[in-house]
Structure 1
Amino acid sequence: MSLRHIDPKQRGFLIVNSHPAGAAAAVSRMWDRIPPRADGSAPVVLLLGHSAGYGLAALLTGLRRHGIRGVGVAYEGAETERRTASAGWYRTAEAARLAAEAGCDFAFVNTDAFSAKGKDEVLALVERRFGKVDHLIYSLAAPRRTDPETGTVHHSVIKPLGAPYEAPALDFSDGRPKVTSVRLEAGTEDEKHATEQVMGGGDWRLWVQALAERGLLAAGFSTVALTYIGSELTSPIYRQGTIGAAKEHLEGTAGQLNAGVLAGRGRARAVVTGAAVTQASSAIPSIALYTTFLRTVLGEDFRTTDQQAAELWDQLLGNTPLVTDAEGRVRLDGWELDARVQDQVRALWADPQAGLDRSAAGAEWFMGQIRELYGWGLDGVDYDRAVETSIAWPEA
């Protein structure tokens, strides 16, 4: 037992401690939003990056609506004397509880999914407990990756390519939203390459190959990796920058898998999601301001991650037709890139300070979403009481 009274340690968009009851409440709230089981398919799923963002939404939606079985993989920090466990740790514990309550056979592994050891551990569990895999969902995000073949440690960077980037950004450093300006120098070819090695399709390819080599691909196997395109407003720092290069690498990997190891045995696709407030996206300059304006324009029509995950599952399982583009990517972002929506966002962006003045509610919503990522600011949670912080990782 480890009862603690904890307060958020926050600096801007960075919060270094998590509230276990709040993190659990966030998971339960998403679970309750998801319509109950739509079919009895119960496919076997390997979900890489289950503890946050779209990965968490895909997990909860898959469990709640389709009774998925399988294994989720994340790499989360345990509690220490100085810090709570990570929010993803606490979210996983709550997700495991809900899965068990719903009668779903789903296991959770805390390991470095980039490593050969991690792959061996996970695939041994899959083989022993579930047999062949119907769907692999790749939703990993990390700042660095060690190449398992060379031992080289690659670090991703968030930089433009070709020219410096200067644009308005949202600043919460003093607790109140304000517009500032951000400038980043152009990334180098080495930095671009390193970011591709971390966030591109190299590790996705290794996972699919490992499944194939172990004979774990079910008939009709499918795999998807999550990507993002976004608006022309953020394109210089995202789609045309180092991260965008990595996403193009990821998307290109789908075609390589289809022509190679999956030929005649399955299908790989990239899935273009819409905007979301995640720990990863909040670190990208200007994305916070853009998302604030997008929320201001859309209001409650802003599509949540679980709403998008529901669309993805229905398409993966054949309940609705696939919505794809000319490159074969599944598109879940039509609501964001609608021309009328983007015109209104562009009008706010043209005068960022005036846009923020009109978007006060959107800015507060954005900051509230950031706090919820770490379990803070949720209705019904008593933050004045001491809370149990030593929560075990679910046994696999």
Structure 2
Amino acid sequence: MSERVIAPKSRGFLFLDSHPTGCRRLVDEMWQAVPEPVPAGGEGPVALIIGSSAGYGLAATIAGLARVGIRGIGVCFEKAPARRTGTAGWYRTAATARLARQHGRDMVFLNGDAFSDTMKEQVAGLLAERFGGRLDFLIYSVAAPRRTDPDTGHVHASVLKPIGSPCTTKTLVFDDDGAPEVKEVTTPPAEGDDVEQTVAVMGGTDWERWITYLDDRSLLAEGFATVALSYIGSPLTAGIYRQGTIGAAKSHLEATARALDERLGKALGGRALTSVNAAAVTQSSTAIPGIARYVGLLRGVLGDAMVSPTGQLVELWDQLTGDGPLVLDEEGRIRLDTWELDPAVQDAVAERWSVATSDTVPELADLDWFGDEVRRLYGFSVPGVDYSAAVDTEVAWPTRIN
């Protein structure tokens, strides 16, 4: 056994180690937050969650298992324990698999490159051998810095930049003592093929490739539905996000959804949609300039009225399974962000945004909540965990049980 006390050491919002017990307790909390879970056992729909270990993909996995009783496959890319602990997603996946087994859900987790055809082949084989050769749902939730094109071998790298001109915004950082500081940062505009590279990684190309790969092998069920998780966000962050390179990728994702929706509708009576989720503290979002400050201020305005990722994904599953009406906007997108973009909420956040300084931001934003949420991403600040106690870091990847 490899036991040690794990302290929350970080560089900015990036933590060097993760806490296995905290990650497990966090997954337990998410499962328990799902309302009206279906009884254990049973033959639920078959689902594939791509990006199942973190953020909205993790919420989609847990909400699907608890609320709908899905069975199927989760795909993610995590690091095993070695000199450092395993990644938080490694421990969260082990915890999710444990709960799935306890509740009689047949869920297999694969660790590897979701962009590769090797992973697609593994998934196709499992669907054929273990799950009756049919897939009912595919949730696509991938955020990655780079993608290797399976056809050419070329490595595309995504960047987070505005388009056309520099973007200056104020972001939130914390000094070594944990004191908040509002700093102005300027991000230079995209140049060269930055936009094309980012679209190649974060757009709809790989999502479409997954659908085509599985469809060519007759693995999509009649009425098959697929959803790619997306984000639009506030006008306050649009310069660096929706109007930037990532926004171009999201637009490509939405265009891909429209093309896939027409194709699947004709072939299977199926659907392809994007789901626009609302703001949350995730490992991806904390890397975006201005987002930390925005989310902290949003929490300061809304408090507990913010809807968690798990709550949002419960609503998404209800819409997909027919337990609730499928509500689409004028561009055919599912909108789970209406509470965030309510004009009254955005006006209140904008007012605080305009006056938030290093001195005033503690009064305007819920920084205690934000700090806890960042630490919880890595298994820290989870109630009921004794962080002074040594913990075994050698948690095994969940094995398949036949």
Please state which band the TM-score falls in when normalised by the shorter chain: over 0.9
Q: Which runs of 5+ in 1 are unaligned?
A: none
One-letter amino acid of the counterpart of residue 158, structure 1: L
Which of 300, 305, 318 aligns to 2:304? It is: 300
Deviation at 1:357, TM superposition (A): 3.6
Secondary structure of 1:7's partner?
coil
Deviation at 1:355, TM superposition (A): 5.2
Which of 146, 149, 152 aligns to 1:147? It is: 149
1:185 is matched with 188
One-letter amino acid of the counterpart of residue 350, structure 1: S
Deviation at 1:37, TM superposition (A): 2.2
Q: How does 1:66-81 map to 2 (within 5 A)?
A: 66-81=68-83
Structure 1 position 43 matched with structure 2 position 45: yes
Structure 1 position 275 matched with structure 2 position 279: yes
Structure 1 position 376 matched with structure 2 position 376: no
Structure 1 position 91 matched with structure 2 position 92: yes
Percentage identity across paired residues of the two chains? 53
Alpha carbons of 1:45 and 1:359: their partners in 2 closer, same or farther (altered >3 Å)? Answer: same
Q: How far, CA to CA, are the matches of 1:315 and 1:192 in structure 2? A: 33
Deviation at 1:2, TM superposition (A): 1.3
Secondary structure of 2:339's partner?
helix
Q: How far, CA to CA, are the matches of 1:204 and 1:395 in structure 2? A: 26
Alpha carbons of 1:282 and 1:258: their partners in 2 closer, same or farther (altered >3 Å)? Answer: same
User: Aligned Cα RMSD in Å?
Assistant: 1.3
Q: How far, CA to CA, are the matches of 1:149 and 1:259 in structure 2? A: 25
1:345 is matched with 349
One-letter amino acid of the counterpart of residue 358, structure 1: E
8 Å CA contact retained: 1:349, 1:355? no
1:4 is matched with 4
1:57 is matched with 59
Q: Which moved more, 1:288-297 or 1:186-195?
A: 186-195
One-letter amino acid of the counterpart of residue 67, structure 1: G
* 1:1-44 Cα deviation digits (max 9, x unpaired): 21122212212111121010011111111111112325877110
Structure 1 position 256 matched with structure 2 position 221: no
Which of 366, 371, 375 aligns to 1:367? It is: 371
Q: How far, CA to CA, are the matches of 1:145 and 1:342 in structure 2? A: 35
2:14 is matched with 14
Q: How far, CA to CA, are the matches of 2:253 and 2:189 in structure 1? A: 22
Deviation at 1:261, TM superposition (A): 5.6
8 Å CA contact retained: 1:293, 1:355? no
Q: How far, CA to CA, are the matches of 1:14 and 1:291 in structure 2? A: 17
Deviation at 1:188, TM superposition (A): 1.6
Aligned residues: 394
Q: How far, CA to CA, are the matches of 1:190 and 1:12 in structure 2? A: 29
TM-score (norm 1): 0.97
Deviation at 1:264, TM superposition (A): 2.8
Deviation at 1:166, TM superposition (A): 0.5
Deviation at 1:256, TM superposition (A): 1.6
8 Å CA contact retained: 2:169, 2:290? yes
Q: How far, CA to CA, are the matches of 2:202 and 2:102 in structure 1? A: 34
Structure 1 position 26 matched with structure 2 position 26: yes
One-letter amino acid of the counterpart of residue 37, structure 2: R
Which of 169, 194, 197 aligns to 2:197? It is: 194
Q: How far, CA to CA, are the matches of 2:11 and 2:175 in structure 1? A: 6
1:243 is matched with 246
8 Å CA contact retained: 1:11, 1:173? no
Alpha carbons of 1:357 and 1:388: their partners in 2 closer, same or farther (altered >3 Å)? Answer: closer
Q: Which moved more, 1:51-60 or 1:255-264?
A: 255-264
Q: How far, CA to CA, are the matches of 2:119 and 2:257 in structure 1? A: 22
Q: How does 1:206-245 map to 2 (within 5 A)?
A: 206-245=209-248
One-letter amino acid of the counterpart of residue 129, structure 1: R
Q: How far, CA to CA, are the matches of 2:264 and 2:150 in structure 1? A: 19
Q: How far, CA to CA, are the matches of 1:340 and 1:261 in structure 2? A: 38
8 Å CA contact retained: 1:314, 1:320? yes
* 1:83-110 Cα deviation digits (max 9, x unpaired): 1000000000000010010111111111
* 1:308-337 Cα deviation digits (max 9, x unpaired): 001000000011111111110011000000
One-letter amino acid of the counterpart of residue 162, structure 2: P
1:319 is matched with 323
Q: How far, CA to CA, are the matches of 1:167 and 1:350 in structure 2? A: 11
Deviation at 1:74, TM superposition (A): 0.4
Structure 1 position 111 matched with structure 2 position 116: no
8 Å CA contact retained: 2:278, 2:340? yes
Secondary structure of 2:237's partner?
coil
One-letter amino acid of the counterpart of residue 365, structure 1: W
Which of 156, 159, 177 aligns to 2:158? It is: 156
Q: How far, CA to CA, are the matches of 2:111 and 2:258 in structure 1? A: 30
* 1:223-265 Cα deviation digits (max 9, x unpaired): 0001101110000000000110011111110112123365331
Deviation at 1:283, TM superposition (A): 0.3
8 Å CA contact retained: 2:48, 2:72? yes
Q: How far, CA to CA, are the matches of 1:36 and 1:357 in structure 2? A: 37
One-letter amino acid of the counterpart of residue 44, structure 1: V
One-letter amino acid of the counterpart of residue 21, structure 1: T
1:127 is matched with 128
- Runs of 4 or more, structure 1, over 6 Å off, are none
